[in-house]
């Protein structure tokens, strides 16, 4: 129905409901919220993993004992692995889908567009993400399964495996490069997850932004210290 001289607003007939979860997934805001939640799981794992790694400086008994502790309860170990795998899949699928949509949202590119305030880390999330994804596959094959290991692989003996692995220079370099990627990803991700979940405050957000950069850098440096320590002979 339209009033003379005006045109009514027609809405498209709503189709059958896609279901609440699918509707949430189909909207970029929902997708980013799910990326944030899975990102929280994955970054908590990164912190826990780092704390585990640092025991290498305590000694062989400490880190090997820790590895045995983790492998003691297979049900718990596999629960953790399944949760992490599910988180990775949701996070990566959402990220890749959103990235691929970029070609549709701006089909004709600018001759020139200047970035004014964004960080390099924030503009390269897809590439640091792809790097981390490839690294995780290599890392599992190297130090969990052992098939991609450079030296002799010993089951659940991380101290010996780390030492024999990192004496092979290309492996050490691959780990360093991947950790730079992790640092960059955390740099923006740890801040962005608050924004995507709807948390922003003029007092706390700048702190979160700085904190994310610091934590990302520290995580990367601490992890990078291990191959460096092996190559320089600090760990032997």
Partner 1 sequence: MRLTLEIWRQKNGSDPGRFVTYEVEANEHMSFLEMLDVLNQGLIAKGEEPVAFDNDCREGICGMCGFLIDGQAHGPNHPGTVCQLHMRFFHDGQKLRLEPWRAAAFPIVKDLVVNRSALDRIIAAGGYNSVRTGSAPEANAILINKNDSDQAMEAAACIGCGACVAACPNAAAALFTGAKITQLSLLPQGQPERYIRVINMAGQHESEGFGHCTSIGECQAVCPAGIKIEVIARMNKDFIRASLKRRETTPPATISKSGSPYA
Q: Is 197 a binder of partner 1 (CB under 8 A)?
A: yes
Determine the interface stretch with partner 1 among 19-27, 44-52, 54-62, 166-174 (rule: CB under 8 A): 19-27
Which one of residues 131, 182, 191, 235 is an interface residue with partner 1 (CB under 8 A)?
A: 191
Q: Is 4 a binder of partner 1 (CB under 8 A)?
A: no
Token couple for 140? 């599992």
Collapse the DSSP code of 146 into the 3-class scheme (helix H, G, I; strand E, B; otherwise coil) and give the result.
coil
Which one of residues 29, 74, 75, 147 is an interface residue with partner 1 (CB under 8 A)?
A: 29
Distances (CA, A) of 191 to 15, 29, 79: 37, 16, 28
Q: Is 149 a binder of partner 1 (CB under 8 A)?
A: no
Distance between CA atoms of 236 and 224, rounded to whole angstroms? Answer: 16
Q: Is 207 a binder of partner 1 (CB under 8 A)?
A: no
Distances (CA, A) of 17 to 10, 23, 26, 31: 20, 8, 12, 18
CB atoms closer than 10 angstroms to residue 65:
13
Nearer to partner 1, 149 or 188 (CB): 188
**Contact positions toward partner 1, by CB under 8 A?**
6-7, 9-12, 14-15, 17-20, 23-24, 26-33, 98, 101-102, 104-119, 122-123, 125, 188, 191-192, 194-202, 205
């Amino acid at each position: 129905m339209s009033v003379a001289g005006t045109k009514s607003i027609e809405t498209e007939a709503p189709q059958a409901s896609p279901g609440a979860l699918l509707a949430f997934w189909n909207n970029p805001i929902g997708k980013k919220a799910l990326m944030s939640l899975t990102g929280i799981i994955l970054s908590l794992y990164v912190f826990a993993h780092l704390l585990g790694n640092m025991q290498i400086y305590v000694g062989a008994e400490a880190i090997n004992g820790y590895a045995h502790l983790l492998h003691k309860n297979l049900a718990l170990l596999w629960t953790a692995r399944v949760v992490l795998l599910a988180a990775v899949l949701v996070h990566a699928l959402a990220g890749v889908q959103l990235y691929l949509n970029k070609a549709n949202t701006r089909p004709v590119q600018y001759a020139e567009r200047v970035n004014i305030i964004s960080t390099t880390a924030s503009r390269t999330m897809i590439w640091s993400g792809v790097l981390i994804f490839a690294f995780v596959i290599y890392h599992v094959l190297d130090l969990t399964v052992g098939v991609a290991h450079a030296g002799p692989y010993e089951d659940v003996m991380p101290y010996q495996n780390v030492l024999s692995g990192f004496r092979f220079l290309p492996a050490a370099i691959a780990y360093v490069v991947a950790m730079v990627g992790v640092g960059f990803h955390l740099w923006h991700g740890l801040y962005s997850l608050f924004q995507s979940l709807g948390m922003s405050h003029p007092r706390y957000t700048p702190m979160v932004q700085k904190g994310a950069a610091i934590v990302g850098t520290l995580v990367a440096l601490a992890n990078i210290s291990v191959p460096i320590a092996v190559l320089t002979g600090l760990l032997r």
